[in-house]
Every structure is written in C-alpha cells, then in structure tokens.
Amino acid sequence: MERFKNYINGQWVEPVNGHYFENINPANHQDIIGEFPKSDIDDVNAAVAAARSAFKKWKLVPAPKRGDMLRIAGDIFSRRKKELGMIMTREMGKPTFETEGDVQEAIDTAYYAASETRRLFGYNAPSEMPNKMNLSFRNPIGVCGIITAWNFPVAVPSWKILPAIAAGNTVVYKPSKESPHSGVIFAEILEEAGIPAGVFNVLLGQGAMGDLIVEHPDVNLIGFTGSTEIGTHIGEVCGRTNKKCSLEMGGKNAQIVMDDANFELAAEGALWGAFGTTGQRCTATSRLIVHKDCYEDFINLLVTKANKLRLGDGLKEGTDVGPVIHEKSLKNCENYVAIALGEGGRLVCGGKRAIEGALALGSFFEPTIIVDVTADMRIFKEEIFGPILCVAKADSLEHAIELQNSCEFGLSSSIYTRNVNAAFQAIRDIEAGITYINSPTIGAEAHMPFGGVKGTGNGHREGGWTVFDIFTEWKTVYIDYSDTLQRAQIDNY
Ligand code: UN1
C-alpha cells in the first residue's frame, strides 16, 4: 500500500511519531487509497518554523514575480486536471466531471491571483498639511494556517492558499483527513511551479492536529472552511490569541420557485443544486420554497426528474450522483429523514441507503425529497450535508423571502421567476452573501466575492479581490517633505 509523506520546508518527510492512518474510497470501502501521516506537535512545530523562516525572504520577492510562479502553478493544474480529478473522485466520491470542475476552479484562481499581484492596490489621499504625502500599502501578515474540508479538495484550498502566497505570506496547510491525497498533489504542483522551500507546507492528519496549528503562537492567521462547530471553536481560539481568522461555515441554502418561473429550468436547477456533489456543498440547495399555485405540479416534475438520476461510483461513466463521504454521514442522512417524517414531512423520493449491486460496497444514499415541510421543522433549519432536499410552500413572494430568511445561515440563495420586479425585490431582501437569479445556489466563480452572512461566516469574503482583505494588512505611510515640524490637527487649524 502506498505510504504518503508530509511536505515541510521543501522536503517530503515522515511524521516524527511514525504514525499513519488509512483513507478509503467512499464508493468502495475495500479500496484503500493509502496510509497518510498522523502528524502531531513535532511536525506542526517543524512546518510552522519553516514557514516563519521562509516568510522573511518571501515577503521581499516582488509581488509580480510571486505571481509568475502562480501562473505556472495554474498551467500545471491544467496539465494534471484529468489525473487529479480521478484522484479526487477516488478519495471523496463526486463524479469526475465535478472533480475536474473543482480543479478548474483552482486553475482560474491561480491565474486570477497571479494577475492580482500586479495590482494589490492600496490608496492614497491628500494630506491635510502642505508638502506632505499620505499613502497606504497592503502588507502580508505572516504564517497562515489553512484548514479545509474534503468536499472541494482543490478549489477551496486554492481560494485561500494561492492569494495568501500571492500577497507574500507563507502557509501551513492541513487538508481534510478525507482528502489527504489531493493535499499531496497540491504540494507537488506548487513545488514544480518553483514556490521556494518553506513558503508552502502540507501537514496530513486528523482533526486534533488542526487545533495545534490554530493554537500555535507563531501562526498569524487562520483560514478555515468546514463545519460550524469547528469554525466557531477556531473563532474562539483566534479571539483569545489575537489571530486574524476567516471562517466559512454552514449553509442552508434555499431556491425559491415562483408561479411564473420556467419550470423545466427551475427543476433542473433544483436537482443540480441539491444533488450535485451529493448535496455535500456549503452552497447546496437544501431547501426549496415553491409558490402555492405551482406547488403540486412542480413537485411532480421534480420527482420525475430526480428518479432518473444515476447513483454510482464517480469514476464510472454516466454517474450523476456519487456516494456520501462516510458511514457517519450516511447515518446522519437516515436520522434526518426519520426526524423529518416524524415532524410531518412527506417523503416523495428516495429516503434510504442504496445497496443494490456494487452500491453495497460504498456509502450511498438515494437522492431524497421531502415535501410539506414548514419553517419550524428541524429539516428546514439544520444543515445536513447530504442528498436531502426539503420543500415548503409559500403564499407570496414576501412569504417566500421570509421563509428563505428564517434560518441561522446566509450563504447562497436563488430565485426562479420571469418577473423582473420580483427578481429585484429578492436581490434586495434575501439575507445571503450570494443570490442567483434563474440559476441554482451552486456555481460561484473564482473572481467574485464568496462568503455568507449571519451564521455562515465572520464577515470575510474569499474569491475576487476581496480575498486580499483577508490575507493582507494595511501599512499607512506619511511623508513630510516640508522640512518643518507640522503637528497634525494643531498647526493646520
Ligand atoms: C463549498 O461548498 O465549500 O459555488 C464551495 C459552488 C462552488 C464552491 C462551493 N463553486 O458551489
């Protein structure tokens, strides 16, 4: 069996404690992908020390030169897209057309970050005194600890790592324990692109090791995507230790379907939003809010289409929906179906574990639709992270938006309508970081701000140039060329 290593200071190294864990293919539990380091404090110390030392030089490399390396990284991601897609599918399950899309997002981010290194703009403003100039610059912050989930094993880390490096920071990256192989390839690609030793380090391991990175006194910033529970804990530690932290956490995204919508389009959008990545996206459509005048007809259309989805191994041609990530997740789905039915929901599609033929080898759950859900039911409020869509009925646009907003999260949202006034009202009133008009809740693009309001995050936006607000801090410079002592607020008034 293949045994993988950590990447620290430009070297592939074994964990100091010599301990490893196995990772399996969620579509086939007999397929063991390999053994991965169970890194611990000694490895964390080594990686942070390497990143700290590399920071001294890396921050002095002209930003456009750093960008040149990221452009090469984009080229290599592009060259390895198919191969990497298969590796990702094998370890986290979604079909290869999706994992290749995931890699494409990293390619886009690499080229985007590379081009931003020629801008990284600050601003200047007139001084209140003569012969004085006021400028401001974006400076790197230092060592960034990056901790991400398995559902986008390349795209989501790329949103953080590539801009962090572009801005002159160094990185200690902990990929999810469910997708460590993708983390290894990430390091191979940045190494080949010429990123110097110590600038990017990868530590493989389980949850507790992430805590060691977060707590480490020499780490200046934490960038996290994952569960609300862990993100909230990270936020608390960073508050206590004065670290900047960017948290991207849960979602309970809704798609509204109005009675004037293009129903075919809205049904296709709902299915892609709900069952793409087996519903395991923070942007997944987990709630559908349908206008009362088209409620029954739309559900019928949706179920007819959902029944045609092909569940299977993501490495097989023709698979629409892959497995869930592990058995625990499968149990969670079973549990939520039971809760929803107990609270009065009506099951119209799926609802159970799939075990026909080869599906028995993995963790497969049928695409599930539960209708007649109301705002007080747990299934309407809590993130499941699986292929379960719940449907509620709305009396009006205002009611639909109220239902959409009656939730602690606020990441993505969508409305299908052909009424331009309704669309603009939704854009204004929906409480979410992202609103789609006539397209599903998934599909963010690398060069636009990405993040959520309310319980989804802590106010930051990845993607677009806004990500540089996370990975830089401001230096303000006053240049006085008057040859006199000019006392601000005093001599000029
Ligand atoms: C995530 O689920 O963590 O918009 C990110 C989308 C993808 C990114 C999802 N581009 O669904």
For the stretch 22-66, pLDDT in tens is 999 999 999 999 999 999 999 999 999 999 999 999 999 999 999
In order of 141, 316, 351, the CA distances from 493 in angstroms are 37, 75, 73
258 Rama class: left (phi>0) / alpha (psi -120 to 50) / beta: beta
Rg of the chain taking only CA atoms, in angstroms: 24
Distance 283 CA to ligand 1 centre (A): 6
Asked if residues 110 and 73 have their Cβ atoms less than 8 Å apart, the reply is yes
Q: Find the DSSP H helices in 219-326.
A: 228-241, 263-275, 295-306
Q: Which atom of ligand 1 lies at the shortest distance from residue 434's CA?
A: 4
> Which residue's alpha carbon is nearest to atom 3 within ligand 1?
282
Distance 81 CA to ligand 1 centre (A): 18
Q: What count of Cα atoms within 13 Å lies in the side-chain half-sphere of residue 90? A: 15
Checking DSSP bridges between strand 221-225 and strand 244-248, what pairing results, if any? parallel
User: DSSP letter at 357?
Assistant: G
pLDDT digits (tens, 9 = 90+) for 308-322: 999 999 999 999 999
Checking DSSP bridges between strand 6-8 and strand 11-13, what pairing results, if any? antiparallel
**Cα(9)–Cα(26) distance, rounded to whole angstroms?**
32
Q: Which atom of ligand 1 lies at the shortest distance from residue 445's CA?
A: 10
Whether 282 is catalytic: yes
> Which residue's alpha carbon is nearest to atom 11 within ligand 1?
442
Task: From the candidates 144, 238, 245, 282, give the one annotated as an active-site residue.
Answer: 282
Domains 6-249+457-476 and 253-437 share a fold: no
**Cα(281)–Cα(388) distance, rounded to whole angstroms?**
12
Distance 52 CA to ligand 1 centre (A): 31
Domain ranges of the chain: 6-249+457-476, 253-437
Q: Which atom of ligand 1 lies at the shortest distance from residue 282's CA?
A: 2
pLDDT in 10s for each residue of the chain, 493 residues: 999 999 999 999 999 999 999 999 999 999 999 999 999 999 999 999 999 999 999 999 999 999 999 999 999 999 999 999 999 999 999 999 999 999 999 999 999 999 999 999 999 999 999 999 999 999 999 999 999 999 999 999 999 999 999 999 999 999 999 999 999 999 999 999 999 999 999 999 998 999 999 999 999 999 999 999 999 999 999 999 999 999 999 999 999 999 999 999 999 999 999 999 999 999 999 999 999 999 999 999 999 999 999 999 999 999 999 999 999 999 999 999 999 999 999 999 999 999 999 999 999 999 999 999 999 999 999 999 999 999 999 999 999 999 999 999 999 999 999 999 999 999 999 999 999 999 999 999 999 999 999 999 999 999 999 999 999 999 999 999 999 999 999 998 8
User: DSSP letter at 61?
Assistant: S
> Which residue's alpha carbon is nearest to atom 8 within ligand 1?
444
Q: Which amino acids bring their CB within 6 angstroms of ligand 1?
A: 105, 151-152, 156, 225, 281-283, 442-444
Choose which residue among 104, 283, 325, 450 to substitute to test ligand 1 binding: the one with the highest number of ligand atoms within 8 A of its C-beta.
283
Distance 442 CA to ligand 1 centre (A): 6
Distance 443 CA to ligand 1 centre (A): 6
Asked if residues 379 and 345 have their Cβ atoms less than 8 Å apart, the reply is yes
Q: Which residues contact residue 490 at a Cβ distance below 8 angstroms, ignoring those fewer than 6 apart?
A: none
Length of the chain: 493
CATH code for the structural domain at 253-437 = 3.40.309.10
Distance 446 CA to ligand 1 centre (A): 10
Distance 414 CA to ligand 1 centre (A): 14
Torsions phi, psi for 231 (to 5 deg): -60, -40
Beta strand extents in 80-220 (DSSP E only): 125-126, 132-140, 143-147, 170-174, 200-202
Tokens of 472: 């830089």
Q: E strand or H helix at 31, and its extent? A: strand 28-37
- Closest of 451, 433, 463, 470 to residue 112, by C-alpha: 463
Helix (H/G/I), strand (E/B), else coil: 246: strand
Asked if residues 234 and 247 have their Cβ atoms less than 8 Å apart, the reply is yes
Q: Which atom of ligand 1 lies at the shortest distance from residue 276's CA?
A: 11
Q: Which fold has domain 6-249+457-476?
A: Aldehyde Dehydrogenase; Chain A, domain 1 (3.40.605)
| Residues forming beta bridges with residue 22, ordered by sequence position | 35
Distance 282 CA to ligand 1 centre (A): 6
In order of 85, 102, 158, 413, 446, the CA distances from 435 in angstroms are 28, 21, 23, 5, 16
Choose which residue among 148, 152, 159 to substitute to test ligand 1 binding: the one with the highest number of ligand atoms within 8 A of its C-beta.
152
pTM of the model: 0.97
Tokens of 318: 């023709």
| C-alpha dihedral sign at 59, 65, 68, 73 | negative
Distance 383 CA to ligand 1 centre (A): 15
Q: Which atom of ligand 1 lies at the shortest distance from residue 149's CA?
A: 3
Torsions phi, psi for 31 (to 5 deg): -90, 100
Asked if residues 378 and 370 have their Cβ atoms less than 8 Å apart, the reply is no
What are the b/e assignments for 300-334, b being 16+ CB within 10 Å?
ebbeeebeebebbbbbeeebbbbbbbbeebbebbe
Beta strand extents in 226-366 (DSSP E only): 244-248, 253-257, 285-291, 346-349
pLDDT digits (tens, 9 = 90+) for 105-135: 999 999 999 999 999 999 999 999 999 999 9
Whether 349 is catalytic: no
Choose which residue among 182, 277, 325, 442 to substitute to test ligand 1 binding: the one with the highest number of ligand atoms within 8 A of its C-beta.
442
Task: From the candidates 105, 116, 248, 462, give the one annotated as an active-site residue.
Answer: 248
Choose which residue among 450, 456, 462, 467 to substitute to test ligand 1 binding: the one with the highest number of ligand atoms within 8 A of its C-beta.
450
**Cα(472)–Cα(138) distance, rounded to whole angstroms?**
6
